[in-house]
Amino acid sequence: MISFNFKIIAVGKIKDLNLNNKIEEYLKRLSHDTKTDIIEIKDSNPLSEGLKIQEILKKENSFSIALTEEGKTYGSIDFSRYLAAIPGKITFVIGGPFGLSEQVKNTCRQRLSLSPMTFTHEMARLLLLEQLYRAVSIQNNRSYHKE
Amino acid sequence: MISFNFKIIAVGKIKDLNLNNKIEEYLKRLSHDTKTDIIEIKDSNPLSEGLKIQEILKKENSFSIALTEEGKTYGSIDFSRYLAAIPGKITFVIGGPFGLSEQVKNTCRQRLSLSPMTFTHEMARLLLLEQLYRAVSIQNNRSYHKE
């Protein structure tokens, strides 16, 4: 069984109770075989948020991926293969309502787009977690992706 | 103000309470200036589901769009312009866990993909409604898309 180590740096709290419940559900599902930590940055503006994010990224020895609309898109199977090929910890960075600063995008090793469409940053966190759970399921041949 | 008339034909019920609440929230938001009906088809298999969908589509005098992963992708602003350019009612068709039959895809005027990634059909319904609300907001210059 392939095991992953994910960290998510995200700006702002999830204020929507329903989205928060779904996010918690996927975190719980992931916890069975994957370490997934979330660090929340207080939302202010992309520049100050970015400074805090970069401080955290500096301390991490991990492969960092910024979520931005202009990033690379993947199908779910390709995404699972892509993640499986990265050795060690993978850190995803999700901005707040105003997105990520250019500095953060440039600091990250890769830019990822979940969809060419814009979704709220709260929904982006749920979409990412669902895709991470799906990726782990695909790699470990669980039925989730075949449902 | 631009007004839209949407219909969504979807296979299966939304069993997840949290996703259902979010879907209801976007339906309520849309209801202020857009007629949006949802018709749910009982889930069985793509072929029998497809026959029921085609029956409904035949009776409709509307522009039909099938949601499939291999469909065309849009950014949110382009999507809103695309919808605004369609005269009359627009019907979206969302399959169940096993997707839509080829017959339904061929009957529809257009194929749309919300993302190259696979999401659950329950999440697809939420994503579509969020994008419809966003599209209406963009066309009517509401603050939602700028948040």
CA distances from B86 to A5, A28, B25 (A): 46, 43, 25
Distance from CA of residue B70 to its chain's centroid? Answer: 15
CA-based end-to-end distance of chain A: 20
Whether residue B125 lies within 8 A of chain A, CB to CB, comes out as no
The per-residue pLDDT for range A8-47, each reduced to its tens digit, is 999 999 999 999 999 999 999 999 989 999 999 999 999 9
Are the beta carbons of B119 and A97 separated by less than 8 Å?
A: no
- Name the token pair of A140: 């470990």
Q: Domain count for chain A, please give it.
A: 1
DSSP B103-135: HHHHHSSEEE-S-SS---HHHHHHHHHHHHHHH
Residue B65's beta-bridge partner residues? B92, B110
Question: SS3 of B93, please?
Answer: strand
Tell me the ipTM for this assembly.
0.94
Question: How many A×B Cβ pairs under 8 Å?
Answer: 78
Parent domain of B85: 4-139
Provide the shortest C-alpha distance from residue A117 to chain B (in Å).
4
Positions of E strands within chain A: 4-11, 34-41, 63-72, 90-94, 110-112
Whether residue B60 lies within 8 A of chain A, CB to CB, comes out as no
The per-residue pLDDT for range A54-107, each reduced to its tens digit, is 999 999 889 999 999 999 999 999 999 999 999 999 999 999 989 999 999 999
Give the up-direction half-sphere exposure of residue B112: CA atoms within 13 A in the CB hemisphere.
30
Has residue B60 been placed in a domain?
yes
Has residue A86 been placed in a domain?
yes
Asked whether residue B147 carries a pLDDT value surpassing 60, the answer given is no
Q: What is the CATH number for B76?
A: 3.40.1280.10
For residue A135, the tally of other CB atoms under 10 A from its CB is: 27
pLDDT value at position A145? 82
